[in-house]
Structure 1
């Protein structure tokens, strides 16, 4: 069950992004494809536009003016009229150009009186040729692209009703800890659960679907049993808490029970040191097991650092290239460790929030992301990598 033990942040991130293959492809409607990742290139099924169209509201004219108005091009239909020299038809933006048209003159550039239209227009003006935007079989978007609403609109315009996307990773979440309570004010040594309300939402934004989430007491046999119930229907198991080596830390024994292959066993970063990533083989499938620390800020730091690239690998998505930011105040790290500091950026300048402890959420609640601070002393003006929340 050996893996990378106390590797650097960069080493662990690389392993998280490269250790699992993309999931299977599925066909979904365009409406359901928003924020999903393409499993294959999307090609245009037709020229776009599919025919010559008008770029303006006005008149389709033939030759030089004045022109005799002989009718109107119906929106969304091909006109049976053939324009001859000195004739015109009223036309709306996007209307199909009738045969014989030499130009389209806009309303504001001409005068209509007594069935005659007068004005001046250059030959070929305001006519969009067929295929001006794309030709049939042009690549509109490549595999691995995240589908935005405008992109779904483009696919529709190019003739698609449905497209092929990568399946969303199905996740089972287990929140561990006898000390956790789930409502009211904590008293008598209890701790109010702060991860339950946020982790499912973060994972959905990362592209996952939540199959189940539950709170499990600190009991190895119970944890083993509950994990086993989920393995047939998930691609990723996530736990919070219990990742260290103390007498009440049961994640490593649970991984041993699963005969899991350890990939990451702690990372030299604060917060987020006690993070684990393992591979579970189950019925000819490989399931990822990501164990996050129990402290709220540590859990978020580990999830954005290593969970996000893991999920992107499942989705066949390109990995983020982290931007560089300039820190506005000196920051130090524990010896030999990187540090993840929550904060905000403005014009590529990073300012840390207050309340930076690994068990604290007040600072990270007002942050835009984490700055990845290099080991050692980093003076104001030094650069850091930026891990954005969105």
Structure 2
């Protein structure tokens, strides 16, 4: 399968997972299945927009008390000619017509006088009739009930969540977060410590966890498995997540059992090999019960390419994220192209290509992005760009 077709298959095959009511404080990163609307006025009550004195009628004003944010007023209406000292955000007493900031008034003998200082007027000159509603935020000035906060399909960011809480929404209807199980296969793989002769560290768990989270999913568990078909088969059958990612066991060698096991499990092959270098043996299958299996080549760089090609768009689709076009940028430098397929090469911020094999991740880590180069690409042409986690 061509690389663009494989990416599109992973992106377009899966449907968003079912929606569920989710506390707003837990919804960040989730996708809204229904619009969020304002449930109470914002602000919810009349309050002071400045520190100073809430006043009623014409001045000077006799100070009758103090109101701080978070505290109730005494319930008495502010009469003309009176004032209360007030803090920003504090509940405005009934009858208040304006708030005089500290810097705009003078207080002597418990009397407040407003100062004005326009051109040609002495700073000490006082104003007796204040401008009405000045420095007052009335209930509903910003939002009224029913106002749209965020539409369906929007990813809940921290700011969206904060706006929803401010507007009185305690829960939102969001698509369930896709879960991922990671099965790292290989007798040679260790999960901690310094590898001895013939051994390597597991690098896939961290990469897959990051790519899963970026796409709106959650890593549920990661297990290391030996090169044993029985053990792998049991792990596939017992994984309860939406997506199972298998690193290694993806080709046709003596220790590669995944394809046979999936065929025996009556899996539907969606992608079975991609015309790209590196990452050719990658695959994607759907089990009869609806779970997906993404197969990543065991070579680290090839596995990274496969995760960006198949896993990320699949998880994003399950999370309910709308499909978006991959970015395109001008790329320069020499490249060994793949006839009939694409070559995926690290590319730095300036668009310069870097060499990389199927094993080493250093070039990809330094570059930060990968360029997908078709066989007709020439130096200076644009190319699709993948961002590494």
Q: Same fold (TM over 0.5)?
A: yes
Residue 87 (1) aligns with residue 86 (2): no
Tell me how far apart the structure 2 counterparts of residues 79 and 173 of structure 1 sit (CA, whole Å): 61
Q: Could you tell me how far 1:280 is from its partner in structure 2?
A: 0.7
Contact kept? 2:211, 2:307, Cα under 8 Å: no
Once the 2 structures are TM-superposed, how far is the Cα of residue 305 of structure 1 from its aligned partner? 2.4
The one-character-per-residue Cα deviations of 1:107-146 (angstroms, maximum 9, x if unpaired) are 1121122112122453322222322222112221223333
Which residue, out of 51, 57, 63, partners 1:69? 63
Instruction: Write the mapping of 1:376-387 to structure 2, written as runs, cut at 5 A.
Output: 376-380=376-380, 382-387=381-386
DSSP-derived class of the 2:273 partner = strand
Q: 1:99 and 1:191, CA in 2 relative to 1: closer, same or farther beyond 3 A?
A: closer
Residues 343, 366 of structure 1: 8 Å contact kept: no
What 5-or-longer segments of structure 1 have no aligned partner? 1-5
Q: Distance in 2 between matches of 1:25 and 1:379?
A: 46
Shift of 1:308: 1.1
Give the equivalent residue in structure 2 for 1:110: 105
SS in 1 for 2:351: strand
Match of 2:318 in 1: 314
Structure (1 or 2) with the greater strand fraction: 1
Instruction: State whether structure 2 residue 351 is matched by structure 1 residue 350.
Output: yes
CA, structure 1 residues 63+305, in 2 after alignment: closer, same or farther (shift >3 Å)? farther
Aligned-pair CA distance for 1:330: 4.5
Question: C-alpha displacement at 1:331, in angstroms?
Answer: 4.0
Match of 2:329 in 1: 325
Does the 8 Å contact 2:99/2:136 carry over to 1? yes
Which ranges of structure 2 fall in alignment gaps of 5 or more residues?
117-129
Task: Find out whether 1:292 has 2:332 as its counterpart.
Answer: no
Q: Secondary structure at the match of 2:288?
A: strand
Q: Which position in structure 2 is the counterpart of 1:140?
A: 149
C-alpha contact 1:51 1:129 (8 A) present in aligned 2: yes
Equivalent position SS for 1:377? coil
CA RMSD of aligned residues (A): 2.5
CA distance in 1, matches of 2:151, 2:370: 30
Query: Quick check: which has more Rg, 1 or 2?
Result: 2
Alignment partners' CA distance in 2, 1:139 and 1:59: 34
Report the CA distance between 1:184 and its aligned residue: 4.7
1:60-109 CA deviation, whole Å, 9 max, x = no partner? 22344332222223433355232333332222111223333222221112
Cα drift, residue 253 of structure 1:
0.6
| 8 Å CA contact 1:331, 1:377 repeated in 2 | no
C-alpha displacement of 1:267: 2.0
What is the alpha-carbon distance in structure 1 between the residues aligned to residue 360 and residue 52 of structure 2?
63
Match of 2:138 among 118, 129, 132: 129
Other-structure match for 2:232: 223
Which secondary structure state, in structure 2, belongs to the residue aligned with residue 10 of structure 1? helix
Asked if 1:176 corresponds to 2:185, the answer is yes
Note if contact 2:297-2:303 (Cα within 8 Å) is conserved in structure 1. Answer: yes
Per the alignment, do residues 78 and 42 of structure 1 end up closer, same or farther by CA in structure 2, a change over 3 Å counting? Answer: farther
Deviation, structure 1 residue 288: 1.0
* 1:260 positional shift: 0.8
Q: Which residue matches 1:30?
A: 24
Distance across 2 between alignment mates of 1:81 and 1:388: 61
Query: 320, 334, 337: which is aligned to 2:338?
Result: 334
Taking a change above 3 Å as real, the CA distance of residues 375 and 57 of structure 1, as seen in their structure-2 partners, is: farther
Q: Which residue of 1 aligns with 2:123?
A: none
State how far apart, in whole Å, the 2-side matches of 1:65 and 1:300 are.
72
Greater displacement, 299-308 / 180-189: 180-189
SS of the equivalent of 2:235 reads helix
CA distance in 2 between partners of 1:204 and 1:22 (Å)? 16
- Deviation larger for 153-162 or 12-21: 153-162
Give the length in aligned residue pairs. 374
- Give 1:363-374 correspondences, 5 Å limit: 363-374=363-374
TM-score scaled by structure 2?
0.86
Q: Which residue of 2 aligns with 1:3?
A: none
Q: Look up the match of 2:124.
A: none
Aligned 1:156-195 pairs, distance under 5 A? 156-195=165-204
User: Is the contact between residue 364 and residue 388 of structure 2 (CA under 8 Å) also seen in structure 1?
Assistant: no
